[in-house]
């Protein structure tokens, strides 16, 4: 029998896309916050003896983590045979080491909190930088979906003469793969993070790319500062207005407004529900679920 697919993060477009592609039956649950910010969760579908899958990106992790745990454990209490998690955006992956004495290594500690609740995990391009294998954090059956083929298909169909630009060395894995698939030229810049909301980016001589459309490619748009800083350099170098492409549109604080003010058109995958979603991951995520769901 098909697994039941619950959606906790409001990503109904992805829930519908997944149900159409994988052997999944949409199921219903409710979540809200009480005035004191405690969470209420209710399962509305019969899960007795069924395999359950929960779709929940963790872009607002401190708000979503508790309801996610409440839902997954309630599914078990109500008789679900298994509970898999599809978290297209996995949170707390960037603090993967103790940069300063006394800091919490939240990538590992967050995984320690989440992993015991799940039988298997599917995620999309987690921010694996110093930690290379997701299985060292999440010791459960898992699949890492790579969005690069979907990003490449978008670039190929939408941008006539692209110059792909990775704003920092960490973005090279995405930009080089999109470049390989589209056969477009690419460069990778150097970024220094000066604070949560401050970055400095160095841009090499890019005169010869003046006739190209710069396409900034990154895994995450959080505050947007990385893209805004990069776009400023490109503008001063006389380049065409850039477009930005990111796997995960986290859009923290005023990122959307700030990107608009900087004249940057941003496009994202539907790993996190947002108005900038233009790249559908249902096919790629659906395949990964098919491999893991019982």
- With binding defined as CB under 6 A, does residue 88 bind ligand R5P? no
Interface pattern 250-269 for ligand R5P (x via CB under 6 A): --------------------
Kindly indicate which of the ranges 16-24, 143-151, 221-229, 233-241 contains the residues binding ligand R5P, using the contact rule CB under 6 A.
Answer: 221-229
**3-state helix, strand and coil shares in percent for the chain, rounded to the nearest 5:** 35, 30, 40
Q: Which two tokens stand for residue 201?
A: 């980016």
- Cα(273)–Cα(224) distance, integer angstroms: 17
In the bound state with ligand R5P, the residue whose beta carbon lies nearer, of 65 and 251, is: 251
Using CB under 6 A, pick the residue from 51, 125, 177, 218 that binds ligand R5P: 218
Using CB under 6 A, pick the residue from 199, 215, 217, 239 that binds ligand R5P: 199
Cα distances (angstroms) measured from residue 280 to each of 13, 17, 53, 79, 120: 9, 8, 19, 32, 22
Shortest Cβ 249–ligand R5P spacing (Å): 10
Shortest Cβ 79–ligand R5P spacing (Å): 40
- Cα(127)–Cα(97) distance, integer angstroms: 13
Kindly indicate which of the ranges 14-22, 81-89, 163-171, 281-289 contains the residues binding ligand R5P, using the contact rule CB under 6 A.
Answer: 163-171
Shortest Cβ 117–ligand R5P spacing (Å): 26
- With binding defined as CB under 6 A, does residue 222 bind ligand R5P? yes
The Cβ of residue 136 has, within 10 Å, a number of other Cβ atoms equal to: 12
- Cα(271)–Cα(280) distance, integer angstroms: 8
Place of tokens 């995520």: 285
Query: Which residues of this protein are in contact with ligand R5P, per CB under 6 A?
Result: 168, 170-171, 199, 218-226
């Amino acid at each position: 029998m098909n697994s039941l697919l619950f959606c906790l993060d409001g990503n109904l477009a992805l829930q519908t896309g997944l149900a159409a592609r994988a052997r999944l039956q949409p199921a219903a649950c409710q979540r809200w916050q009480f005035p004191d910010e405690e969470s209420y969760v209710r399962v509305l579908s019969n899960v007795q003896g069924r395999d359950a899958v929960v779709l929940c990106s963790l872009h607002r992790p401190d708000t979503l983590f508790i309801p996610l745990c409440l839902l997954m454990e309630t599914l078990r209490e109500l008789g679900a045979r298994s509970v898999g998690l599809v978290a297209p955006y996995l949170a707390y992956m960037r603090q993967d080491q103790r940069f300063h004495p006394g800091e919490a290594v939240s990538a590992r500690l967050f995984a320690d909190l989440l992993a015991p609740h799940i039988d298997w995990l599917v995620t999309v391009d987690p921010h694996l930088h110093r930690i290379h294998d997701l299985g060292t954090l999440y010791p459960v059956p898992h699949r890492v979906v790579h969005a690069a083929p979907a990003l490449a298909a978008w670039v190929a169909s939408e941008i006539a003469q692209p110059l792909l630009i990775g704003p920092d060395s960490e973005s090279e894995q995405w930009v080089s793969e999109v470049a390989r698939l589209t056969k477009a030229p690419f460069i990778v810049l150097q970024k220094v993070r000066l604070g949560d909301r401050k970055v400095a980016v160095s841009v090499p001589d890019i005169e010869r790319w003046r006739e190209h459309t710069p396409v900034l490619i990154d895994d995450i748009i959080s505050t947007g500062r990385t893209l805004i800083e990069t776009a400023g350099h490109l503008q001063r170098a006389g380049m065409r207005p850039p477009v930005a492409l990111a796997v995960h549109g986290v859009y923290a604080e005023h990122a959307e407004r700030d990107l608009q003010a900087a004249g940057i058109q941003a496009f994202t995958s539907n790993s996190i529900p947002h108005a900038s979603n233009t790249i559908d991951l249902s096919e790629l995520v659906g395949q990964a679920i098919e491999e893991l769901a019982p």
